Amino acid sequence: MGEIRKQYSPTFKARVVLELLRETRSVSELAAEYGVHPTQLQRWRKAALEKLPQVFARESSWEEEKARYDARINELYAEIGRLSTQLNWLKKRASTLSRDERLQMVDWERRELPIRTQAELLGLNRSGLYYKPKPPSEEELALKRSIDEIFTEHPYYGSRRITAALRRRGFDVNRKAVQRHMREMGLEAVHPGPNLSRRNQKHRVYPYLLRGMVIATPNQVWGTDITYIRLARGWLYLVALLDWYSRYVVSWELSDSLEMDFVLAAVEKGFAKARPQILNSDQGSQFTSPAYIQLVEAAGVRISMDGRGRAIDNVFTERLWRTLKYEEVYLKEYSSPREARASIGTYFEFYNTRRLHQSLEYRTPAEVYFG
C-alpha cells in the first residue's frame, strides 16, 4: 500500500513560513523539526510571497474608506425604503390569493428567509405549514372513482344528485363530504342555462365570444379544460388544448396538483405549434389567473370564457373527456404517474391520427386539422 499523504492546516503552514522568513534556522533544521520535506517548505514560502502583494493592494486611506462607508450607508437607507414599499405591496397582493396559492409560494429548499418569516409575510399559520397529509385511504379512492364515473356520465349532476347516486352504490356518505371531494377533483356541475352563483371578483372574467359563431377552419377556436384522472393509489389532473373545428388535441399535460405550472406548460406547447384566433375556457382559477391571461394575450390570442356552469359552452371538451375515460382511463389501472402519462399519450396519438369520428364524416382529427 502507498504511504498516506499528510495534510497540513493553513495555520501550521503560516507558522512554518514565518520561521523560514526570519531565517534564524536553516530549511533543513525546520524540515527536521516539523517533519516536512525541504522542497515542500520552499513551495510554501514561494506561494506565500506570491500572494503577499494582494494583502497590501487592499490598503487605502482612511478618508477613502470613510467616504465609501458613508455612501454605502446612504444606499442601504434608500434600499430599506424601497423594500418597505415593495413589502407592503406584496402583502396586499398575497392577501388576495387563496391559501393553497400562498402555500405554493413557501420556499422549503433554499430558505433564503426563515419559514416563520415567510409564513408571516404570506399571512399563513406557521404550525399549519408542517402538516403532512396522510395518503388517501382505499375508501377515499373508491369514493373518488365513483364520483368521477357518475360525473362523467352525468356532468349536469350537482352534489345532491351525486350523493344520492353514491348511496345507491352502497356508500355511506353525506353531501358535505361529496362537495369536498368534488372541489379536490376540480368538478363543478354544468347546467343548460345561466348559473347565477357569485363570481370570484379577484380575477378578471372575460365574456363568452362564441355564441352564434360559425367555426369553419382549424385554429379558429381552441378550447381548454382540466379533468381528474384516477390512479390505483391516488390521482392526477389532465389539461388539454382542443381544436374545436377538427377535434384535434393540440397539446396536453398531467400534474399531481392543480398548480398553474402544468396549465401554462400546455398552453406554451400548443402555441409553439400554432396560434388560434380564440382560446376558450371555463372560469376556473387557473384560467382567470394573471399568469394565464398574460401568456395568452401576449401571443395575440383572444380570450373567451364559458358562462359559469354552462354545459353547451364547452361541449367539445366535455365530449373529449367522456371519450378518453370510457375508451382509456376506465379500462386501465394506472399504477404510477409515469404509466398514466405514457398510456394517455399513446391514446391521444391514436385519437388524433387513427380514431374515426362520425361528426368528421369518418375522418381522423389529424386529417381535418392538417387538411
In a domain, 58, yes or no: no
Answer yes or no: do 146 and 122 share one domain.
no
* 65 falls within a domain: no
Q: Which of 169, 173, 171, 103 is nearest to 132 (CA)?
A: 103
Q: Which residue has the higher pLDDT, 189 or 206?
A: 206
- The whole model's pTM is what? 0.59
Say if 213 falls within a structural domain: no
Query: 77 and 26 share a domain?
Result: no
The more confident residue out of 335 and 279 is 279
Per-residue pLDDT reduced to its tens digit, 76-90: 888 888 787 777 777
- Of residues 199 and 212, more confidence is placed in 212
Q: For position 285, what pLDDT does the model report?
A: 87
The answer on 356 and 265 residing in a single domain is yes
Let me know whether 350 and 239 are in one domain. Answer: yes
The predicted-structure confidence for 104-126, as pLDDT tens digits, reads as follows 777 776 667 787 777 777 777 77
Residues 289 and 329 in one domain: yes
Mean pLDDT of 135-144: 86
Which pLDDT score, from 0 to 100, does residue 193 have?
A: 40
Are 25 and 45 in the same domain? yes
Final residue of a structural domain among 83, 110, 129: 129
Q: Is the pLDDT of residue 199 over 50?
A: no
Based on the fold, state whether residues 94 and 165 are members of the same structural domain.
no
Q: What is the pLDDT of residue 342?
A: 94
User: Is position 292 within any domain?
Assistant: yes
Could you tell me if 357 and 232 lie in one domain? yes
230 and 325 in one domain? yes
Low-confidence winner among 15-19, 20-24, 354-358 (lowest mean pLDDT):
20-24
Query: What's the CATH code of the domain at 319?
Result: 3.30.420.10
Calculate mean pLDDT across residues 267-290.
94
Strand arrangement of the beta sheet that strand 278-281 belongs to? 249-255, 234-243, 221-231, 278-281, 302-305
The percent of residues in the chain predicted with pLDDT above 70, rounded, is: 84
Residue 66 lies in a domain: no
* Residue 111 structural domain: 73-129
What confidence tens digit (pLDDT) does each residue in 256-270 have?
888 888 999 999 999
pLDDT of residue 25: 67
Asked whether residue 202 is assigned to any structural domain, the reply reads: no
How many domains is the chain partitioned into structurally?
Answer: 4
Q: Are residues 252 and 359 in the same domain?
A: yes
Q: Give the whole-angstrom CA distance, residue 26 versus residue 254.
A: 74
> Which cell goes with 66?
470613510
**Both 236 and 330 in a single domain?**
yes
pLDDT at 13 over 50: yes
- Quick one: pLDDT at residue 318? 86
The answer to the question of residue 196 being in a domain is no
Do 100 and 43 lie in a common domain?
A: no
Domain-located, residue 336: yes
Give me the pLDDT at residue 1, please: 45
